Amino acid sequence: MKIILIGGGKLGKQLYSICNAASEIELVQWVVRSAERGKTPEGISLVNEVNELYPADLYLLAVTDQAIPEVAAVLPEEAFVAHTAGGVALEVLNQNRAGVFYPLQTFSEGRNIDFSKLPIGLECKQSTDLPLLEKLVQALGARVLHMNSKQREQLHLAAVLVNNFTNHLFAEAAAICSQNDLPFELLNPLIQETVHKLEDLSPKATQTGPAARHDHKTIEKHLTLIQERSLQEIYKAVTLAIQKKQ
């Protein structure tokens, strides 16, 4: 399976190393927007422009959401092109042979992601193109997940809640710890348990805390402890939402 990877960002770098390590995948070219050209140590041709691309079985776009339509527009009309975005419609790709390959994960600079068992959401304009994407997922040791565009955009929203928003709460907690001379790692066992109990219990069933028990005294106190208005607004919104469900 000949693949050309387009994008040198966080996801692009991960896909580069994992595709490169998979024996069934032949990574022919890698498009990066840096000044770098030539070949990678593994012999993969590095190019800067999509108009320098060879033919391939699949052009995999790991570019920003905004760049997807413009990159797809300059790729051959008959090419099989798949993007990797959770929140971008399949129709943004002008090719008839268009697909989505959405890894349900967050990618950070300097972190290696384990692709084994990682769900990868697949969708294709033409069902005859699905087997190739399935083969790619399997070659990476990941988990095929068929979904339509509606399911994908909903899953992307859910991913934003459990990853981006949760991460922001962690950042706010880290700031509180730092302002009070407490190491953030003190919260590790609590964070671990918050996640581990999902294995056995539904998060709705285990909701605890001042909001769940309608403990207005503690809620009022916390609001006076919070100095930043933006965190106060989060505190109020989440507290109200929890109270509505209890």
Site for a copy of itself in 114-173 (CB under 8 A): 114, 117-119, 145, 147, 150-151, 153-155, 157-173
Q: Closer to a copy of itself by CB, 78 or 244: give it.
A: 244
Q: Is-contact 1 20, C-beta < 8 A?
A: no
17 binds a copy of itself (CB under 8 A): no
Tokens of 242: 């929890």
The correct pick among 106, 135, 138, 144 for binding a copy of itself (CB under 8 A) is: 106
Site for a copy of itself in 28-47 (CB under 8 A): none
Pairing of strands 45-47, 38-39: antiparallel
Q: Closer to a copy of itself by CB, 35 or 161: give it.
A: 161
Tokens of 38: 């030539």
Pairing of strands 2-6, 26-31: parallel
The correct pick among 38, 41, 43, 110 for binding a copy of itself (CB under 8 A) is: 110
The correct pick among 24, 65, 70, 77 for binding a copy of itself (CB under 8 A) is: 65
Q: Which residue has the tokens 């990868």?
A: 120
Instruction: Tell me how crowded residue 135 is: count the other CB atoms within 10 A of its CB.
Output: 16
Q: Closer to a copy of itself by CB, 125 or 236: give it.
A: 236
26 binds a copy of itself (CB under 8 A): no
Q: What does the alpha-carbon distance between residue 169 and residue 118 come to, in Å, rounded to a whole number? A: 24
